[in-house]
Amino acid sequence: MDKENQQKRDIILHIRRFDPERDESPHLEQYTVKVEPGMTILDGLHQIKQNQDSTLSWRFSCRMGVCGSCAMLVSGRPMLACNTQILDITDRALTLAPLPNFDIIRDLVPDLTRLFEDHVAIQPYIQGQDAEEMENPTGEFFQTPHELEKYLQFSYCIKCGCCMTACPTMATDREYLGPMALAQAYRYNTDSRDRGYESRKSVIGASHSTFNCHYAGECSNVCPKGVDPARAIQLMKRDLVLDYLKLKKRKKACRVMGIPSDVERKPSIPFPPYTVEQK
């Protein structure tokens, strides 16, 4: 046996399968995969589809932990399949299932409609006080590093749904807005350029929203990007209460920095070469 084959191990993957046209309920199927160091769960799934069962379905796109498409339940814990190496978590077997708290479309593909509807509900975009400046910008909004730091970590969210899966309130309350949407509401409310707090308030302050978070903290534990949604929700509770008691500080107007008119591009900096052929 050569050195390459010596490093390979047989790992058993128990995968929850479900075809709505054929099955009444999900069931487990077992596959054995030859795993070598560095191989991710996503690679393992590709190997199964290529060599053993072409009907296996899952969702993926970027393969580098950026798009959030391949989130799934790996041995009971929500993770990104592309970001997780098999030998890092097991040397024998692991179980793969679709994200709970969502309906299943097929096999490992969850229906994330609820996640995106919740996201839309909190108006996840900058709402400026100056509509004219927003439509026809004359410059750039000035933001200090301190102001940026307040919301920066929450903007790393890739909407993979891991936090929604780990949340115990999501599991019982189908109307609950969820940690992803709430953390994003906090992200925009905290942005010094945004003036949308008043319009988001009717969503984040209603029942089945911010105050239904019981601070289990699992959302923050499982986030593959290191975002802390639990913290965002607690800070948003504080903001809502201070606002209710009329103690909330008003945001200062965000200054617009005009585009400098008396500068030119340095001639010594060449335009970068095209990486694809131009027609």
Partner 1 sequence: MRDMKSEVGYWTFFIIAGIVVFVLLFFHMMIIHMDQLLGIFNPAGGSALDWKNVIYRSHSAFFTTIYIILLAAALYHGFYGLRTILFELGLKKRTQSLITIAVWVIGITLFSVGVFANIAVQTVKAAV
CA–CA separation, 113 and 96 (whole Å):
21
CA–CA separation, 18 and 54 (whole Å):
14
Q: Does 209 bind partner 1 (CB under 8 A)?
A: yes
- Least separation in angstroms between CB 188 and partner 1: 17
Q: Which residue of 245, 259, 263, 276 would you call a contact of partner 1, by CB under 8 A?
A: 245
Positions in 151-190 near partner 1 (CB under 8 A): 169, 172-176
Decide whether 137 or 168 has the Cβ nearer to partner 1: 168
* Number of residues this chain uses to bind partner 1 (CB under 8 A): 22
Site map for partner 1, 128-147, x if CB under 8 A?
A: --------------------
In what helix (H) or strand (E) does residue 31 lie, and over which residues does it extend? strand 27-35
Decide whether 154 or 176 has the Cβ nearer to partner 1: 176
Decide whether 108 or 236 has the Cβ nearer to partner 1: 236
CA–CA separation, 8 and 92 (whole Å):
12
CA–CA separation, 265 and 213 (whole Å):
51
Stretch that binds partner 1, among 69-77, 110-118, 209-217, 268-276 (CB under 8 A): 209-217
Q: Which residue of 69, 84, 212, 220 would you call a contact of partner 1, by CB under 8 A?
A: 212
Other residues' Cβ atoms within 10 Å of the Cβ of residue 277:
5
Nearest partner of 94 among 28, 47, 7, judged by Cα: 28
Q: Does 205 bind partner 1 (CB under 8 A)?
A: yes
In angstroms, what CA-CA distances link 107 with 22, 104, 275? 12, 7, 38
Q: Does 241 bind partner 1 (CB under 8 A)?
A: yes
In angstroms, what CA-CA distances link 19 with 44, 78, 104, 108? 21, 21, 9, 10
Q: Which residues bind partner 1 (CB under 8 A)?
A: 169, 172-176, 201-203, 205-209, 211-212, 237, 240-241, 243-245
